[in-house]
Structure 1
Amino acid sequence: MMSANNLVGLAVAAVSRSRYAFCKFTSANDAGSTGAHQAGYYIPKSAWPVMFDCPGQKGENKDRNITIKWQDTFETESRFIYYGRGTRNEYRLTRFGRGFPFLTDDNVGDLFILCQIEPNYYEAYVLSADDDIDSFLGAIGISPTETNGLISMQQITPNPEDLIHQLFQEILVQYDQFPATNMMAQYARECYMRAHHINDEVLQNNPDTSLLAWINTEYDLFKAFENKLYSPEISRGFGNVEALITYSNQILNRRKSRAGKSLEHHLSGIFTANHLRFETQVITEEHKKPDFIFPDGESYHNFEFPADDLIFLGAKTTCKDRWRQILNEADRIPVKHLFTLQQGISKNQLTEMYRENVCLVVPEPYKTFFDPTFRDRILSLKQFTDSVRRIQHIS
């Protein structure tokens, strides 16, 4: 059986040698959990080059047969199809054969990667574990918010916002090493807000889109630092393969460790703009350290403070495996809120989460990736901040 690390490595290698590559989190709609008329991977219109030579034309259907090798182990004779007739206007990848293992309800939230190796020959990989997904995204240089589209292997993603990149250059010249993670996040927020003339009122009204924009901006800034700081060493070359592998692992580990801390820093920025009272890394029972306690640790440890006015929030970029870690982090607070950038989780896992009193919080645009029967129970970031504002009597 292939190890997870080998699978991630094969997926990254396939992307690097592909003509076009695409990735997305498997949604409930893909798996047919929503009761849609046809299961199969939905491909957004922006990713048409991975499927056809030209985009589909409204009023016409078209399809193309291809061969896909999955997980470097087995092949399917599959089909890209564009539905343009009637009210439909969508692309799908279908036909996987009986017993296909990657489109069940339990696969919702997995990362699906599709690489065009030859005109009619593709390689595909499906990653389930959070660590594997983080490793893949780190290796190809994109954040979870940049999935559901074509993959670019450029070191720095081109950005039409020239002012942001001008501000990046002003920051880069000040450093000969990576800034601390909190400073990197702060710089990204400042650059984005200056370029787009964002103020606290905007952050209060649109925290979901603001958070996603900050995360994308910081990842662009981080890759700019990578390009500056790693290029001299890469240009000098490496004496042997082991030295190259060691250096590559250092790069990947820095990417992975930054991502989780980055999310916490940006959430703190949203909460501060909303004038919420909160504290991070409060020490609770058995020396646990929740990501966020509202209003603070002193109130948590004061048993005269009403437990109903205490709020817990964990923050994990992906949580398909990790959500159980938060269950015993704050005994006084029975309902655990969990913010994630995961785009879809299986119905079975959602059922288990809510049975354990875990309430998901996701960016508003990501709600559509979840099973419809759970969407009303999943909070957007604005719904969460509004709830805290009411509890803390903030007008």
Structure 2
Amino acid sequence: RAVYYNSKPRTLNPKGRNETRITCWGGKKSPLQNQKNTGALAIFCFSASDNLKDCDLVEVWVCGSIDEEDLVETIIGEVLPGTALSGLSTQLLGGFAIDDTNWKSRNHEIPEHWKVTFPSGSEIIEYLPKIFKFKGETPDKLLLERREKEYDLFRQVEELHVLDKVKEGFDSVEDFIELANSVSNRRKSRSGKSLEMHLEKIFVAYGLVKFTTQSVTEGK
């Protein structure tokens, strides 16, 4: 149950409220009320009614482990911490979802040849300092900032390569699934390598130079 208390903006009541509260989570035994699940990936599924003004039912699933989160992300694509994806089930489960990071509003300048050939993860990361002046004062903040900016730029390039294909439509379900899998796999590949490359840049920037990347350890 969602309730919007808006007496402050509606009646200009200085002592009023302007907030939304969501209740009826199922009691203390509900996974949604369990503090151990703070930060876990969750899926909210709304069964839309015909009039589209309200929903008949809401189901919520909370991932109980990293393995479960990995499984979900193989279906819907990467979900960055603190962000949300939304859309119809046909979009979400196919890897095409709408996020709330507002990356489209930034419209960064990108090299012309990227519009023809999708750049590698290392190319995108090397290009970041040319269009961004990072403000992170600590390695932690810098890492989060670099990841956010890289994802913005990646999504913009992805839009150039994928949106037209989506607008053209598909001749079969298999064609749709093939493209969706391609987009999802590229996102997962970028995400996995991205963290390592950003850490490498930060290590060097802070004077830590005695390390190796992509090294093979015992038993691989």
Which residue of the partner structure matches residue 166 of structure 2?
234
What secondary structure, in the 3-state scheme, does the structure 1 residue paired with 2:143 have?
helix
Preserved contact between residue 138 and residue 256 of structure 1 (Cα < 8 Å): yes
Higher strand share: 1
Q: Structure 1 pair 60/136, CA: closer, same or farther in 2 (3 Å)?
A: farther
Distance 1:127 1:191 in 2: 37
What secondary structure, in the 3-state scheme, does the structure 2 residue paired with 1:251 have?
helix
Distance 1:155 1:105 in 2: 25
Matches within 5 A, 1:1-395: 51-53=2-4, 55=6, 59=15, 91=21, 93-97=23-27, 99-104=29-34, 106-114=36-44, 117=48, 118-119=53-54, 122-128=58-64, 129-135=68-74, 138=77, 142-147=79-84, 154=98, 157-159=101-103, 165=107, 168-171=108-111, 173-175=112-114, 176-193=116-133, 198=134, 205-277=137-209, 278-286=211-219, 288=220
Cα shift at 1:273: 0.9
Letter of the aligned partner of 2:194 in structure 1? S
Distance 2:153 2:191 in 1: 13
Runs of 5+ unmatched residues, structure 2: 9-13, 88-96
Distance 2:83 2:128 in 1: 16
What secondary structure, in the 3-state scheme, does the structure 2 residue paired with 1:285 have?
coil
Letter of the aligned partner of 2:170 in structure 1? F
Seq. identity, %? 29
Q: Structure 1 pair 93/190, CA: closer, same or farther in 2 (3 Å)?
A: farther
**Greater relative CO, 1 or 2 (CA 8 Å, sep 6+):** 1
Query: Which portions of structure 1, spanning 4 or more consecutive aligned residues, are displaced by more than 6 angstroms?
Result: none
Distance 1:95 1:158 in 2: 29
Letter of the aligned partner of 1:143 in structure 2? L
Distance 1:265 1:56 in 2: 49
TM-score, normalised by the number of residues in structure 2: 0.69
Greater Cα radius of gyration, structure 1 or 2: 1
Q: Structure 1 pair 191/135, CA: closer, same or farther in 2 (3 Å)?
A: farther
Distance 2:75 2:81 in 1: 10
TM-score, normalised by the number of residues in structure 1: 0.41
Q: Structure 1 pair 231/61, CA: closer, same or farther in 2 (3 Å)?
A: closer
Preserved contact between residue 135 and residue 252 of structure 1 (Cα < 8 Å): yes
Q: Structure 1 pair 229/51, CA: closer, same or farther in 2 (3 Å)?
A: same
| Aligned-pair Cα RMSD in Å | 3.6
